Amino acid sequence: MVLDSASIPKDFLGRALEVLEDHLDVIESTRTKTSGAKHTARLGIITVECMTTTKSIVHYERQLSIAKEIKDAALEAEALYGLGYNPGRLCDYDKAMEYLEQGLVPLSDTGDIPGQGRAYSYMGDVLLAQDGREQEAIEMLQKANGILEPRNDPEAMSLVLCKLGEAYMRIEAWDNAIIALEKGISISASMEFEVIRNQLQSELHQVLGRTYLEQY
């Protein structure tokens, strides 16, 4: 599930969160457990966008419990990703990696290859957030790159290449950083949604600019 939060005002997200929370019990009592799990997934995403990470963790934990009960691997992986990113923002990096590694299991079970690529990308992001772990992050992001490149997913690829360029820049591998970032800019140009395309290209150009400044 992708939420283009960049184009949605925060007050609208807050209102959406209130409506979804008000109707959660009704949905879970009148529909299938799968519907309830999907509903909590939306709550998890929106609460993250509203920066209420503690509440988001509660929703993702609820989703994880239901997903395991109904044996829905895709929903289970989605919940584990959400839980992985929340502790990451709270600087509990070990817990973040634990959740993300667990999320690889249901993805392997369902044969979701692109999902596995995104999982490695998230893990690289968590490693990159920690000083001194840039080389580990590069290895993880290269693994993500190898999986995603044949899949023709410009958004996921652009994100990976942006993070990869950042990692290379930090270890002063200037040429590698420039190659990754310029490739990311080129790939992002083919994205359909203008708002996301512009946001990614802005991030890629910023890192590329910093790379040139720090190099000289």
Counting every residue written for the chain, the total comes to 216
Range 61-64, long-range pairs (CB < 8 A, 24+ positions): 63/37
Global pTM reads 0.74
- pLDDT tens digit string along 63-91? 888 888 888 888 888 889 888 877 666 67
Going 178 to 136 to 51 to 102, the CA torsion angle's sign is positive
Q: Which residues of the chain, if any, have pLDDT below 70? A: 1-54, 87-90
Question: Where do the domains of the chain lie, and which CATH numbers do they carry?
Answer: 1-103 (1.25.40.10), 112-216 (1.25.40.10)
The rounded radius of gyration (Å) of the Cα atoms in the chain is 18
